[in-house]
């Protein structure tokens, strides 16, 4: 059975127990990293995932708390002798900057580097990301400070649907992206520019008629804000779960 592993659940300021938000989608043949931060090799191994078995990386947007780990991950794969290709997906804005970032490290001069394919996604709703015998993944633009995507994952074996908002203020695109999903993972960073409160996440979940809402990308440590599950429950009557690092969700 496919699963999602919450590798981090914090907003941009992590703590010892809450790393920056990023996820892994694990199937029988495909292992997909959604955003890449901190020390990804260690984080994945702590979660029981062989980093060298990753097949795909989806980068939702070009902010440090979502993309800073990519150079270190690719270098680790190269040093471990990886030869099989890896696919990286993101908007044009994101991929252009990520390629520039890798260029600053001079990776074109690293000998025998494995193939890396950068797939530029259109800034359109329900854009095609990938489709195989395990998953169908689509992306939609959401409302953040830079061009950003949320994703919709359809699991073919179980027929389950998971949607992930990424960083966004409330928007119609997220409602449509999550429409009828079994699981919505929605940020709860607070009702500020480019972000959503837990109650606003609950409103999106209710409008999209999802079954279960997971709150993620929330303030932690000294910035923590009250009972987010109770706050989301003001607007959403379904199951609400506060995402925690290394939590596993069957899909």
Domains of the chain: 3-250 (3.60.15.10)
pLDDT tens column, 125-165: 999 999 999 999 999 999 999 999 999 999 999 999 999 99
pLDDT tens column, 83-123: 999 999 999 999 999 999 999 999 999 999 999 999 999 99
Q: Cite the DSSP H helix spans in the chain.
A: 40-46, 64-67, 70-79, 92-104, 172-177, 198-208, 228-232
Q: pLDDT at position 223, please?
A: 76
Rounded to whole angstroms, how far apart are CA atoms 212 and 217? 17
Q: pLDDT at position 224, please?
A: 80
pLDDT tens column, 205-232: 999 999 999 999 999 977 787 899 999 9
CB 145 within 8 A of CB 60: no
Checking if the pLDDT of 4 tops 90, the result is yes
């Amino acid at each position: 059975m496919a699963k999602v592993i919450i590798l981090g659940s914090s907003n941009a300021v992590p703590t010892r127990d809450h790393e920056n938000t990023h996820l892994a989608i694990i199937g029988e043949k495909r292992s997909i990293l959604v955003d890449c931060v901190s020390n990804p090799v260690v984080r994945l191994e702590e979660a029981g995932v062989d980093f060298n078995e990753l097949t795909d990386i989806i980068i939702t947007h070009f902010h440090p708390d979502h993309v800073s780990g990519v150079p270190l991950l690719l270098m680790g794969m190269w040093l471990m002798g990886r030869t099989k290709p890896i696919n990286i997906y993101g908007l044009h804005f994101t991929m252009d900057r990520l390629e520039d970032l890798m260029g600053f490290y001079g990776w074109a001069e690293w000998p025998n580097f494995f193939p890396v394919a950068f797939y530029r996604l259109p800034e359109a709703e329900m854009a095609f990301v990938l489709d195989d015998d395990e998953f169908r993944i689509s992306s939609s633009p959401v409302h953040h400070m830079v061009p950003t995507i949320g994703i919709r994952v359809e699991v073919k074996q179980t027929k389950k649907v998971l949607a992930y908002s990424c960083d966004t203020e409330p928007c119609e695109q997220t409602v449509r992206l999550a429409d009828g999903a079994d699981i919505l993972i929605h940020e709860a960073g607070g009702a500020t520019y480019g972000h959503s409160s837990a109650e606003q996440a609950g409103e999106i979940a209710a409008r999209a008629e999802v079954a279960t809402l997971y709150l993620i990308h929330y303030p932690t440590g000294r910035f923590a804000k009250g009972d987010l599950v109770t706050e989301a429950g003001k607007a959403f009557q379904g199951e609400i779960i506060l995402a925690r690092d290394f939590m596993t969700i069957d899909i």
